[in-house]
Amino acid sequence: MRIHAHLVLSVLLAAPLAAQGAEDASAGAPAWPTWRGPLGTGEAPDADPPVHWSETENIAWKTPLPGHGKSTPIVSGDRIFVLAATPSRPATEEELAQRITFSGMRTETPDHLIAFLVLALDRRTGAVLWDNMVAERLPLTGVHRTNGYASFSPVTDGDALYVSFGSYGVYALDVETGDVRWTYELGPQVTRKGWGEAGSPALAGDTLIVVADQEGESRIHALDKATGEVRWVRDRDEPSTWTTPLVVEAAGKLQVIVNGTTAVRSYDARTGDVLWHCDGQTVNAIPSPVTDGKFAICTSGYQGSACLALSLAGRGDLRADEKNIAWSHPRGTPYVSSPLLVDGRVYFLSGNSGLLSCLELATGEVLLDRKRLDVGNVYASPMAAAGRIYIVDREGTTVVLRHGDELEVLATNVVDEPIDASPVAIGDMLFLRSRTSLYAIGTP
């Protein structure tokens, strides 16, 4: 572990938590323990963040981050955890010969090693508490020019921090010191057109779940969270995906639900057996499911549109019994961002655009149908807090809406840096991770 001096100097300038397996070790401590928050739905149930801000207004602190990263930060108690990747030394000719290169496909392949970094920041001040370079490797392949090498979000149980860099290792770190407790190697992953990896790990009780879908042999891995030892591994009939598993206790099982182009599947967290599956998603099924504990809402939106409400009580092929699919919606579904579930309503964006839809969870009734927002392209997933919806575009604009039947814009806020990570709300603060900084929005 090492603390980078330049970082310290720059600072001086539906599913219940038990089902997600991500309880904070300190009772009552504020937590956003996974990339979709304490409920796994994108809602911050106890937060009341600001409505208005700018680059110069309502900024409590802003901390520069090293290199590049797109993953959403997580929060446990007074610590914020973020991942980053930054170039290190130039690669040797021998190292370069080991790469798999792609060209003409919006893919960039580096000629230098990458340092894979995990950082802990003080939630109140933005000070860097520790900074650990867990690996330094030459990427096997390049990445899409809008991707990077730190697109995964960590997950925590309050005691340990669990981090995946895909081909470059899965790590468990001590939240207090940043020391690595164990490491697990997935092996090289070759994604579609060399677009790179993403898809965060998830905790299912005392088991860490890591999905590795690629153009080769796709698998889902279940590891003992204390030791990193393998509990089970299952092959997946899937091409490359960039999705995060959803963990929920339902119908007598702790289920791990994973989106996919071939099928959405629910795995028994204890055994790895497939409990149910359902086809009907599009190519590149990226969005993560959300759930109210009864249905899983699964979406995808590349070269088509799909939104299905799938019963968690079903078994086998859900298509075999129509009652297992409560409803479906065939238009305006997201490509990269995941849906938001709040107060029995499902919000999502069309493709990567600012066209917003809202459906009634119980019936699939359309409440808002592709209403245009004053934002550009969006990768971040919507977040809800205090009766408001926060939607962040890739240029740093955040539209704040009132949660309700009608589209009501409360504010449009702009910062100077591009943002792909999803917003996070804790208490009266909003955290936005840009490509190069972490903003804490609230009263200084």
Residue scoring higher pLDDT (245 or 10): 245
Residue 14 has pLDDT above 70, yes or no: no
- Starting at the edge strand found earlier in the chain, the sheet holding 340-342 runs 340-342, 345-349, 355-360, 366-372
- pLDDT of residue 7 exceeding 50, the answer is no
Please report the pLDDT score of residue 160 as a whole number: 97
CA 77 to CA 421: how far, in whole Å?
A: 21
Give 194's DSSP letter: G
DSSP string, 306-331: EEEEEETT--EEGGGSGGGEEEEE-S
Nearest Cα neighbor of 96 from 108, 107, 110 is 110
What CATH number does residue 80 fall under? 2.130.10.10
Residue 103: per-residue pLDDT: 56
- 231, 242, 321: which is closest to 272 by C-alpha? 231
CA distance 274 to 2: 42
Q: Is the pLDDT of residue 11 over 70?
A: no
As given in the structure block, the two tokens for residue 190 are 């070759």
361: left (phi over 0), alpha (psi -120 to 50) or beta: alpha
d(CA 44, CA 340) in angstroms, rounded, equals: 11
Mean pLDDT of 87-96: 86
Residue, of 147 and 336, whose pLDDT is higher: 336
> What pLDDT, in 10s, does the model give residues 398-443?
999 999 888 999 999 999 999 999 999 999 999 999 989 999 999 8
- CA gap 353, 97 in Å, rounded: 39
Rounded to whole angstroms, the Cα distance separating 293 from 236 reads 25
Number of structural domains found in the chain: 1
pLDDT score of 39 more than 80: yes
Q: Side chain identity at 165, as an amino acid letter?
A: F
* Predicted pLDDT at 28: 58
Residue 27 domain boundaries: 5-441
Residue 279 is predicted with a pLDDT of 97
More confident residue, 387 or 17: 387
**186-202 tens-digit pLDDT:** 988 888 887 888 889 99
pLDDT at residue 8 greater than cutoff 70: no
Report pTM: 0.92
Q: What is the pLDDT of residue 5?
A: 36
Instruction: Determine the average pLDDT of the residues in 237-253.
Output: 94
Q: How far is CA 249 from CA 91, 204, 256, 269, in A?
A: 47, 9, 9, 10
Q: Determine the average pLDDT of the residues in 76-94.
A: 92
- pLDDT beyond 70 at 29: no
| Across 73-89, average pLDDT | 95
- Mean pLDDT for all residues in the chain: 91
**Greater pLDDT, 236 or 21:** 236
Q: Specify the DSSP class assigned to residue 68.
A: B
Is residue 2 very low, low, confident or very high in pLDDT (cuts 50, 70, 90)? very low
pLDDT confidence tier of residue 106, bands split at 50, 70 and 90: confident
| Range of lowest pLDDT (52-56, 64-68, 114-118, 439-443) | 64-68
Between 241 and 415, name the one with better pLDDT.
415
Q: Write the pLDDT tens digit of every residue in 272-285.
A: 999 999 999 999 99
Over the stretch 140-184, which tens digit does the pLDDT of each residue have?
888 887 888 899 999 999 999 999 999 999 999 999 999 999 999
CA 297 to chain centre: 16
User: How far is CA 284 from its chain centroid?
Assistant: 15
Q: Mean pLDDT throughout 371-394?
A: 97
Average pLDDT (352-359) is 97
Residue with more model confidence, 427 or 69:
427
